A and B are shown apart, each in its own frame.
Chain A
Amino acid sequence: MTAASDPAFGLGLLVALLAACAAVVAARAALRWRIGRAARVDRGTGVDWMAGLLAVPRRYLVDVHHVVARDPHAARMHALAAGGLLAGSTLALLGLVPPLGASRLFWITTALAFLLALVGGAMVARRRYPRRPARLSGGTFQRLPLLLVAYGGGALLVALAATLGDPLAPLGWLGLAMAAIGGFGLVRQLAGGPMRHAFAGALHLAAHPRPGRFEGERATALMPADLEAPRLGVATPADFAWNQLLGFDACIQCGRCEVACPAFAAGQPLNPKRLIQDLAGAFKSGPPAYAGSPYPNARPVAGIGGPDLPIVGAGALIHPDTIWSCTTCRACVEECPMMIEHVDAIVDLRRFQTMELAAVPAGAIPTLSESRYAEEPGGRPLSARTDFAAGLPLPLIADKGSCDVLLWLGAGAYELRHGRTLRALVELLRRASIDYAVLGAEERDCGDLARRLGDEATFADLARANIATLSRYAFRRILTADPHALHVLRNEYPAFGGHYELIHHSAFLDELTAEGRLNLVAMPDGRLTYHDPCYLGRYNGETEAPRRLLDRLGLERVEMERHGKRAMCCGGGGGAPVSDIAGDRRIPDIRMAQARATGAATVAVACPQCAAMLEGVTGDVAQVRDLAELVLAAVEAAPASQGAGR
């Protein structure tokens, strides 16, 4: 047994050596995050290390796994490769302890662990060879399965030799050599290669900027910018908080974000994966070569970066068109298994462009100016916001002093299309005898557009003005048909001292019908599909109420492949329509084609932006109807005598 245990003892020493090397490499990589600003966390004063580190296993096994498991093959692959590697290596290290090292059963267990790692490595290889899917990166990532197989397979041989004894000793030595080659290869990949995600990812889970995401919260509100800071927004990598830099290093380049990104699909120069790699490389002297898919129709840039050099600009790393292509739909964040916050990074970069350089896309200049000087992004008179309701009773809260439901109209009220929706909603409120009122000319823009375009100063002014207005009136809750206003008032005003109970009209109408305050008749009217607004579904997690409501209408409801929290954006968020960055296709065209592919004749929407974007599609289109319009049609079809409160 002594002769056979020699390679096994060597494996234990090898693992110890690898662990020491890995610690040095990881520590050196971690020191680079120190260039960043103080940690930014959306609650409390900073990173709660104790709670964060203790929560890592749970955050990994529950929250990360929940995302990874959307691709079951990848989940099994990762569980086997990572689990087998960690378990086997730990056991091999324990084998240095004499009584364990002499136990046959112990080495059988070790061999099993490495067998799992080998199978995992083989699955990684099968996914990447002979042909690599477009969303996965090449380069060092293509070498990863070879290293995994070498390390897992070699260590397996060592463990087998230790189990079976003398006849296999030469094989044990061969295995040790293979394990050494594979092991050192993997450690080398810790600094800039695929293995970086292992330690950066674990720390990212502990020091995450939005810990609420692991506790069932949506945690989607943008964090306020410090308007007293010497430099507003992020110009250089050193302007990011250090835990944001850590987050960029956690990326494993799985490409799920690029598959989900609407701007990428439309051929606009944005690829979330490439963006995160550019940001991760920006603070390193010799960033590893990127071997994934590029920005579509990439604009030329100089490619010069460094910890204290600008990130965005034609003479830097990222072209401005890239950050202005984002619709802030958060699809990339929703899909990211490493829980990276792409949208926060993009808005931070935009804040510097807008508030320090005044370098916004030409189309966004009037929007920002009017938001600032007319308190309305279209420059329209605030008193004209209620014009859509001509002939309908629309009491002002200033006249009533208080009401049960305050109706927040939003910028969509000026548009003819959304005006029809709001008319339907007001008519439904009237029929259900709701005590409602509007702010009228006292309602300013909620500031959503200015904030997503990086103009935090204008957003803060609008938020304070609206909060001051709302504080003068008594109401129980705010109803709105605009998910963008819903998100801003519900989730982003609390940071400015405004705390309100918000309800979207989909949930409100669902409530009214459930209580029997609106009588509807089921009216089968062909096949229908529901398009989830990003700011309702992904940002606020409200995907069920609209579906319940539609099902009450007795319609044949079918789902698009991408729906619920994974729905695709209509292209109307984040100021993208005014920034208007050229691509190959239009995002709403893609979404409408997806709706048509279900065979639906009608696409139900619940947001003024979605309605406007989808109605702008030409050719083979489904009819665009807001939930309020569909409900009103069903209520009007019901016998009048049953209508409540007429």
Chain B
Amino acid sequence: MKALVLLSDARHPVSGRPAPAATELQAVALAHTLADEVNGLHAGPDAEAARGALGHGLTRLEHRQLTAGDDPLPSLVAAIGTAPPDLVLAGPRAGAGAQTGLLPYCLAEALGWPIVADAVSLAVADGVLEVIQALPKGARRRWRMRLPAVITVHPAAPAAASFALGVARKGQVVETPGLPARIEGPPVAERPYRPRPRLIASAAAGAGAAERLKAATQATGPGGQVMVAPPPEAAARAILDHLRAIGVLKPAERG
């Protein structure tokens, strides 16, 4: 079992100092539940933050050197391609910088591997990976898949190990030049953050406090109605009915 953790050039959210990202350290801890040796991979100009993960249980860090502004994806694909691990773990998004959260998906697509987001627990039996995935409001979903796979780790995963100097001293860093690649695709636009109204399920008007609390807090999760290839009219009716049921649209007028 070989596990590889992707590490970003993260900053501490409060101090702004280079520090390994919390979810990536949790990924290291999660990988240790499956493998004794956990390798790390960072592609970028500076590996100082990623190096910190060596003190939290990472055995070996491979640093693919890039100049600032280069796309790390080709370098990551190349590094993974030379000695493919069974499992690639990553945080949900980088610890600093662009933070689109798309990189694990792009990587899975480039490798042709399946991806499961927001894992909180991993187990492997006979080459089959069992992932417990975190869903909103504490719900959990179990996935089974063949290895290899890409997994992103949810903050609700078990706590990361604390920093240990003795562990950090044993860790090795391998520096290799990366593949220079300009970032393709449309330029990313920046605009101020705008909080969006949250869709809260509400009980029908006039319901008691207990019902309203239940409606607002109960996991709606998966479930509901599954329609396979329905006619468009039926699908539209089902969506309208659902929106009316949860109170987003006014009830249908009678008559």
Contact = CB atoms under 8 A, between A and B. Distances in A.
A368 B19 CA distance: 13
Interface stretch (A284-292, A370-378, A564-572): A370-378
B252 interface: no
Nearest to A375: B15
Nearest to B163: A372
B110 to A, nearest CB: 32
A374 B15 contact: yes
B160 A365 contact: yes
Interface in A351-410: 354-358, 360, 362, 364-365, 368-369, 372-376, 379-382
A455 B163 contact: yes
A464 B52 CA distance: 19
Contacts of B164: 354-358
Contacts of B205: none
A112 interface: no
Majority DSSP secondary structure for residues of B touching A:
loop
A358 B56 contact: yes
Contacts of B17: 373-375
Contacts of A227: 165
Contacts of B159: 362, 365
Contacts of A355: 164-166
Contacts of A382: 15
B242 interface: no
Contacts of A231: 166
Contacts of A369: 160, 162-163
Contacts of A354: 162, 164
B167 interface: yes
Nearest to A460: B165
A392 to B, nearest CB: 24
Nearest to B10: A373
Contacts of A374: 12, 14-15, 17
Contact of B163 (A232, A357, A358, A362): A358
Contact of B15 (A360, A368, A381): A381
Contacts of A365: 159-162
Contacts of A376: 15
A532 to B, nearest CB: 32
B166 A356 contact: yes
Which one of B56, B57, B161 has the highest number of Cβ atoms from chain A below 10 Å of its Cβ? B161
A25 interface: no
B9 to A, nearest CB: 14
Contacts of A362: 159
Contacts of B12: 373-374
Nearest to B22: A369
Interface residues of A, number: 27
Nearest to B56: A358
Contacts of A358: 56-57, 161-164, 167
B20 to A, nearest CB: 8
A171 interface: no
Interface in B163-184: 163-167
Contacts of A364: 162
A365 B164 CA distance: 11
B166 A373 contact: no
Interface string A458-495: 10000000000000000000000000000000000000
B14 A232 contact: no
Contacts of A360: 162
A374 B167 CA distance: 21
A39 interface: no
A82 interface: no
Contacts of A381: 14-15
A475 B17 CA distance: 29
Interface string A324-366: 0000000000000000000000000000001111101010110
A362 B160 CA distance: 10
A64 interface: no
A202 interface: no
B121 to A, nearest CB: 17
Given A360-B162, A365-B162, A379-B14, A373 B19 contact: yes
A314 interface: no
Interface string B1-30: 000000000001011010100000000000
A368 B14 contact: no
Given A373-B12, A374-B15, A368 B162 contact: yes
Interface string B139-171: 000000000000000000001111111110000
A455 B19 CA distance: 17
A365 to B, nearest CB: 4
B165 A457 contact: yes
A542 B214 CA distance: 59
B135 to A, nearest CB: 25
A8 B161 CA distance: 70
A372 B57 CA distance: 16
B94 to A, nearest CB: 16
Interface string A274-288: 000000000000000
A372 B164 CA distance: 11
A331 B13 CA distance: 40
Given A232-B166, A369-B160, A455-B162, 17 more contacts: A355-B166, A356-B167, A358-B57, A362-B159, A364-B162, A365-B159, A365-B161, A368-B163, A369-B162, A373-B12, A373-B52, A374-B12, A374-B17, A375-B15, A375-B17, A382-B15, A457-B163
30 contacts: A227-B165, A232-B165, A232-B166, A354-B164, A355-B164, A357-B164, A357-B166, A358-B56, A358-B57, A358-B163, A358-B167, A362-B159, A365-B160, A365-B161, A365-B162, A368-B162, A368-B163, A369-B163, A372-B19, A372-B163, A373-B52, A374-B14, A374-B15, A375-B15, A375-B17, A379-B14, A381-B14, A382-B15, A455-B162, A455-B163
Interface of A: 227, 231-232, 354-358, 360, 362, 364-365, 368-369, 372-376, 379-382, 455-458
Closest 7 pairs (CB-CB, A-B): A356-B166, A373-B19, A457-B165, A358-B164, A374-B15, A358-B161, A373-B12
